Chain A
Amino acid sequence: MANVETKPVIHEEDLLIEEYGYDDHFHEHHHGDKYQSNFITTYIFSQDHKMIAKQFLITGMFWAIIGAAMSLVFRLQLGFPEENMAWIKPLLGKWITVNEAGVGSLAPEFYYALVTMHGTILVFFVLTAGLSGTFSNLLIPLQVGARDMASPFLNMLSYWFFFLSGTIMFLSLFLNTGPFAGGWTAYPPLSALPQASSGSGAGMTMWLVSLVFFVVSVLLGGINYITTVLNLRTKGMTMWRMPLTIWAFFVTAILGLLSFPVLVSAFLLVMFDRGLGTSFFLSEIFIGGQALDHVGGSPVLYQHLFWFLGHPEVYIIILPAMGLVSEVLSVHSRKPIFGYKAMVYSILAIGFLSFIVWAHHMFMSGVNPFISNFFVIFTLIIAVPSAVKVFNWIATLYGGNIRFTAASLFAIGFVSMFISGGLTGIFLGNSAIDIQLHDTYFVVAHFHIVMGVAAFFGMFAGIYNWYPKMFSRFMNETLGKIHFWGTIIGAYAVFWPMHYLGMAGVPRRYYRFDSFAAFGQFDAMNQFITIAAIVTFGFQILFVINFFYSIWKGKKMTTRNPWGATTLEWTTPINPGHGNWPGKLPTVQRWAYDYGKDGKEFIPQIQPLGKDEKEGH
């Protein structure tokens, strides 16, 4: 061993980039990176999109653990309302009330706070910032062949506004009156009257401030993503050569940019109602025996504004997951994605339709039934592009030489979840059936499967697949597979039974059901759901351990392109610095899905077309 000479390893990618690449004189003005020179600028106020991606991911994981732990507490209440909860008093303090017999129970107002925070945290902090923030940041510059985002500085601000937003929300958990408890949708009057409930005072104020900062973060990120995709693609990277991940992030950013400002307008009007006595959303109200000054406001107006964001928001959550899954499925089944252009057009169609279906969240709010018809039709039309995507994923898998890695298992699991959850969406999109099903556990089951669990599956697929690019090491595959099977079985065990509860009319957001004789028969089912939720949470802890252990102790990445993928991010060095490619920028010669073409397993995008070779599509 001692005599082995170490030859300098020559990478084929480097030769290709050197021969065909575009020289942007990166080195001439790159005398040391003054933006990445010490600990603070490298790890904290970093302007490198790869580091910002990791910051988003780890902050998102922190929030995911908190949000999921909250769900366990209220699941305990729902499954075992009679049990003694005094043991959790050291953590929750006065929110657990202990009676003379020493039996502790969860305070009802805190139950509502937990439900509200669970929704807010998961929707905004985990599945928007943690998912789209992580992977848009990591993959957009790497896959379009850019040195960094259009404005690395705004990109850094985007993360720190998210951090600020999270800090404010976190502090609101420790308020004496508790965090906001009026539901994640924050409908007035609970959100607009500080005296409406204990969480509507300081809790709601902090909730509003936190989410305004969050919107700033989303907008700063989105402006960057759109500009980078449109302006900083490398030579040869035409729109039709972009991987589906980039298409998905691009449309996601457009949705966010057009819908989040509407939420800010709604929030501003709520703030005026709360603090300055206007009556945008407050009608004539008696509270505590007192008539308020407000006259003639419309709470339904808030719902319109909220859901004009709220519906695109669910696609902001699911589109990035769809993009990641498309890429992972194609790479791991060693086949081109089936129907690439149909996939792109479906993303665009879903993005467009998402703006004209918002009132399907309001069928039972007293909107005009004729208007409901309009929204029913467009809602059901979304099934078409969704079905196109599902068909294409399955067709991509069909006949593929599938590698069942943790990443591809989660991608396949995503397709399963998306089908299950999507089908129940067709029920709920119908305004007549919605009369029975609205605000029941059927709705809870539907959206948790289709945008909660499915989006998590997309995120896990992305993490397992791109972990080597982030940390130059692999996560443990065996633990990853255990994580997958535990999660998919667990998630179905949690959410499948909820459909039956919902069909029987069990309403969501109720603290306990013992005054309703009709729901007594579901006690055992509620216990089952709670136990399944606890077990599923345990598997996520396994994932967290695997994630952090692997950062330092995982198997080292020895080749640049461990999955044999075609896209540009795998042509960078194993541990890419700020700027991604050490020399020239790669140029793109072909589309992103040349797998199994001309007898080759895969052909990277930087490989020029051969003689007489036609570009595949």
Chain B
Amino acid sequence: MNATVARTDYRRSKIHPKKFALLVACASMMMMFAAFTSAYIVRQAAGNWLEFRMPDLFYFSTGVILLSSLSLHSSYLAFKRGNTRVYRLLLSATLVLGLAFVVLQYQGWQALADIGVELTTNPSGSFVYVISGVHAAHVLGGIAALILAMLHAFLLHHRVTPARKLRFELTLIYWHFVDFLWVYLLLFFTLQ
């Protein structure tokens, strides 16, 4: 982005500063969800807590986002190998799966409302809505990054330059992060 940032070729650390910055940002986002889930535990211990089973749709959406991570990673490998067709195909698949995840989450919320757990019914349900909602917002950020990656994939010639590789890796790290985050959240909701 800026020519004045020192080049890093002599440095011992192998990791690119921007990649490292993204990891730091992920740690920060993780803290936000750690706060949500620990608030959940504290509130649950105080009683007046409605128990309910998570609708199956949330498990389907988990499968979808796991699959999307897999396809994005394969797309990245294809990008590095120079296999343009597979790279573009799997990247598009990831975007479709990502959008499908958000739609499934939305249907999951509707299923929650159908079993009588609305946003304001009880804090146990409110937490699920808020936490999965904030997570979905983070997924939408990832989808924006995927759309950008699609533009690069389809409008530019397929060349594996350090800058493009880095850009792809940043998208990949973030997408894996929101995927991992959702798996953590679902396990948390299921086991709590």
The yes or no answer to B156 lying at the interface (CB within 8 A) is: no
Are A278 and B42 in contact (CB-based, < 8 A)? no
Known contacts A152-B1, A223-B21, A231-B20; decide if A266 and B35 are in contact (CB<8 Å).
Answer: yes
A25's partner among B7, B39, B122 (CB-CB below 8 A) is B7
State the CA gap A146–B47 with chains docked (Å): 54
State the CA gap A268–B134 with chains docked (Å): 9
Interface segment, one of B25-33, B52-60, B64-72, B80-88? B25-33
Known contacts A150-B18, A230-B20, A258-B27; decide if A33 and B4 are in contact (CB<8 Å).
Answer: yes
Known contacts A150-B18, A152-B1, A224-B21; decide if A277 and B120 are in contact (CB<8 Å).
Answer: yes
The yes or no answer to A24 lying at the interface (CB within 8 A) is: yes
Known contacts A24-B6, A219-B25, A219-B28; decide if A261 and B120 are in contact (CB<8 Å).
Answer: no
The yes or no answer to B191 lying at the interface (CB within 8 A) is: no
Known contacts A151-B21, A227-B24, A278-B120; decide if A308 and B43 are in contact (CB<8 Å).
Answer: no
Are B46 and A29 in contact (CB-based, < 8 A)? no
State the CA gap A47–B4 with chains docked (Å): 10
Interface segment, one of B9-17, B97-105, B144-152, B173-181? B9-17
Q: Which residues of A contact B15 (CB under 8 A)?
A: 231
Q: Which residues of A contact B27 (CB under 8 A)?
A: 257-258
Smallest CB separation, B158 vs chain A (Å):
25
Smallest CB separation, A255 vs chain B (Å):
11
Q: Which residues of A contact B2 (CB under 8 A)?
A: 35, 47, 148, 151-153
Total number of B residues with any Cβ neighbor in A under 8 Å: 41
State the CA gap A258–B32 with chains docked (Å): 8
From 5 to 49 in chain A, residues with beta carbon under 8 angstroms from any chain B beta carbon are 22, 24-26, 29-30, 33, 35, 47
From 121 to 180 in chain B, residues with beta carbon under 8 angstroms from any chain A beta carbon are 122-123, 126-127, 130, 134
State the CA gap A152–B127 with chains docked (Å): 37
The yes or no answer to B190 lying at the interface (CB within 8 A) is: no
Q: Which residues of B contact A231 (CB under 8 A)?
A: 8, 11, 13, 15, 17, 20
Known contacts A22-B10, A278-B120; decide if A265 and B36 are in contact (CB<8 Å).
Answer: yes
The yes or no answer to B186 lying at the interface (CB within 8 A) is: no
Known contacts A30-B4, A148-B2, A258-B28; decide if A227 and B20 are in contact (CB<8 Å).
Answer: yes
Total number of A residues with any Cβ neighbor in B under 8 Å: 59
Closest to A277 in B: B120
Smallest CB separation, B41 vs chain A (Å):
10
Q: Report the number of A-B residue pairs with Cβ-Cβ less than 8 Å.
A: 145
Are B48 and A261 in contact (CB-based, < 8 A)? no
The yes or no answer to B93 lying at the interface (CB within 8 A) is: no
Known contacts A29-B3, A148-B2, A258-B27; decide if A265 and B39 are in contact (CB<8 Å).
Answer: yes
The yes or no answer to B5 lying at the interface (CB within 8 A) is: yes
Smallest CB separation, A476 vs chain B (Å):
34
Residue among B6, B7, B18, B134 with the highest chain A CB neighbour number at 10 A: B6
Q: Which residues of A contact B122 (CB under 8 A)?
A: 296
The yes or no answer to B119 lying at the interface (CB within 8 A) is: yes
Q: Which residues of B contact A146 (CB under 8 A)?
A: 5-6
Leading 5 A-B pairs by shortest Cβ distance: A261-B32, A262-B35, A265-B35, A296-B48, A150-B17
Residue pairs across A and B with Cβ atoms less than 8 A apart, 29 shown, are A22-B10, A24-B6, A24-B10, A29-B3, A146-B5, A146-B6, A147-B6, A148-B5, A151-B18, A154-B21, A224-B21, A227-B17, A228-B17, A232-B5, A234-B6, A235-B10, A257-B28, A258-B27, A262-B31, A268-B130, A268-B134, A278-B123, A280-B126, A280-B127, A304-B39, A304-B42, A308-B35, A578-B4, A585-B6
Which A residues contact B (CB, under 8 angstroms)?
A: 22, 24-26, 29-30, 33, 35, 47, 146-154, 219, 222-224, 226-228, 230-232, 234-235, 257-262, 264-266, 268-269, 272, 276-280, 293, 295-298, 301, 304-305, 308, 578-579, 585
